[in-house]
Structure 1
Amino acid sequence: MSDLISMFMPTWPMLAAFSVAAIILAVTPGPDMALFLSRSLNFGRAHGLASLAGACTGILVHTALVALGISVLIAAAPIAFLVLKIVGALYLIWLAIAAIRSGGNFAMANKATAKRPSYLKSYMTGLGINLLNPKVALFFITFLPQFVTATDPFAALKLCTLGVFFVIITIPVTAGMIFAADWLSETLAKSKWIGRALNYSFAAVFASFAAIILTAQARH
């Protein structure tokens, strides 16, 4: 049983670090949060939850694609995997800078028409906002591999575990926002410092990850 767990589970320190990053990602204002709040405010919480389910499905698809691609890359070209991790660190630095530059800006999605969509449409909209967003794909390609090593023969399995764990963390955090949609949307729109604090937290976490990654690679 312990061998089976070690195949799928990253180390506990790594999992703890990933959890912190996932929580901050979940509460950081972005297009997916705007969609969830907009659906909730305009059509009710059930539509907000449906769009959340679609977005989580998109995350799992991205995770599967990353796990497959990275596992092939590790087997075929360990040096290329090392380059990918370094590029990923630089990308995290870029994300940190972008978060600081954006300040506390948060814009709700456009008001929906009076016609109520189906739950399937809300689900598909949530799926599309993650699955068809190249920035999300690039983020998962560069972020998830930071939590595995090139010499780990079970890296693909651990990547899948991280993707599922990301969804498990995201659901309760984001669902809470959906249930507090009225208060949250008004607060984010009026209080610049809250959005700024979230973005600065986002920047600090990923700048730290980037520094750790680049420092570790420099020692090899």
Structure 2
Amino acid sequence: MNVAGFKKWGKNGISTSCFSLAVNKRLRHDPAADSEVKSMDFLPSLNVLLTYSLACFVLFITPGPDMSLFLAKTMSGGRKAGLASMLGAMAGCCVHTLLAALGLSALLAASVTAFTILKIVGALYLLWMAFDAVRNGSALSLKEEGRVQVSFWKTFFMGVGINLTNPKIVLFFVTFLPQFVDAADPHAADKLLFLGLYFIAFTGPLGAIMILGAEKVIALLRNHPKVMRGIDYSFAGLFSAFALKILTASAR
């Protein structure tokens, strides 16, 4: 039965076509709702975001130059110095991720094939990083230093400088971010930018917690080398899985 064409008069002479008008109005698309949905297209799926969050967490807890800097400055200058160095490194990381996201977006706009090739190269790089983590272990260096009072901004810019002058960081993000974006996705550029900023927002609070508990973190890492090796193997296993997933998908 065609609801729109159904017409029957009731006792009060009110046409049920009013009902059909209400139904049709309800069935129409709401432009405002459509606009709201489109404005959220930069968000990856929940599964991708959870996987990416896990990768960010494993990457953060894997000891490296940044962690060495945070902990060393905390022990030599106190928590304020540790937080200053962390904020500086995060600022440098923000520059790296923005440049990587914008560069990858430009590459994707120019050539989907080139973007796909970069994903494959990135997967191979992640495999190498996994192998290197197992072979050489974590790059944590904590030297004993006396208490030194350094200004907040000097420590901050030290963190910025160390981060910006490390070519491995931008290389990592250029090869890491594409693993979580489909080249055929029309909103890939927006998602690349979101993932880059999400990494900073996700790891920032973790860094603050680590600095507040710096003494316990250092004692744990120094007195329990098996913990560090466990982190290395976790890093290697997770990033190898990412790399193999990309390589097998590209081979189809």
Match of residue 118, structure 2, among 78, 84, 94: 84
Determine the C-alpha separation between the residues in 2 that align with 1:23 and 1:107.
Answer: 20
Match of residue 4, structure 1, among 35, 39, 48: 39
Higher helix proportion, which one? 1
Cα displacement (A) at 1:56: 1.1
Residue equivalent to 2:213: 180
Secondary structure at the residue paired with 1:152? coil
Determine the C-alpha separation between the residues in 1 that align with 2:61 and 2:230.
Answer: 11
- Asked if 1:53 is matched to 2:84, the reply is no
Q: Which has the higher contact order (CA 8 A, sep 6+)?
A: 1
Contact 2:77 2:148 in 1 (8 A): no
Relative to structure 1, the CA distance from residue 213 to residue 48 in structure 2 (aligned partners, 3 Å threshold; closer, same or farther) is: same
Letter in 1 for 2:107: L
Contact 2:138 2:232 in 1 (8 A): yes
Q: For each residue in 1:42-63, what CA deviation from the matched residue of structure 2 results, as whole angstroms up to 9, or x when unmatched?
A: 1111111111111111121111
Determine the C-alpha separation between the residues in 1 that align with 2:114 and 2:194.
Answer: 23
Contact 2:105 2:192 in 1 (8 A): no
Provide the identity percentage.
Answer: 47
Stretch moving more, 171-180 or 199-208: 171-180
What do you get for the CA RMSD once the two structures are aligned?
Answer: 1.5
Q: TM-score by structure 2 length?
A: 0.82
Matches within 5 A, 1:139-154: 139-154=172-187
Q: For each residue in 1:88-139, what CA deviation from the matched residue of structure 2 results, as whole angstroms up to 9, or x when unmatched?
A: 0000000000111123663215637x64221111111211222210111100
Matches within 5 A, 1:26-105: 26-103=60-137
- Asked if 1:200 is matched to 2:233, the reply is yes
Contact 1:104 1:193 in 2 (8 A): no
Gaps of 5+ in 2: 1-35
Q: TM-score by structure 1 length?
A: 0.93
Determine the C-alpha separation between the residues in 2 that align with 1:154 and 1:143.
Answer: 18
Larger-gyration structure (1/2): 2
Cα displacement (A) at 1:144: 0.5
- Asked if 1:215 is matched to 2:248, the reply is yes
Determine the C-alpha separation between the residues in 1 that align with 2:93 and 2:40.
Answer: 23
Determine the C-alpha separation between the residues in 1 that align with 2:55 and 2:178.
Answer: 14
Determine the C-alpha separation between the residues in 2 that align with 1:152 and 1:37.
Answer: 40
Determine the C-alpha separation between the residues in 2 that align with 1:27 and 1:181.
Answer: 13
Determine the C-alpha separation between the residues in 1 that align with 2:242 and 2:143.
Answer: 31
Determine the C-alpha separation between the residues in 1 that align with 2:103 and 2:200.
Answer: 20
Contact 1:40 1:46 in 2 (8 A): yes
Gaps of 5+ in 1: none
Q: For each residue in 1:162-186, what CA deviation from the matched residue of structure 2 results, as whole angstroms up to 9, or x when unmatched?
A: 1121112111212111111112112
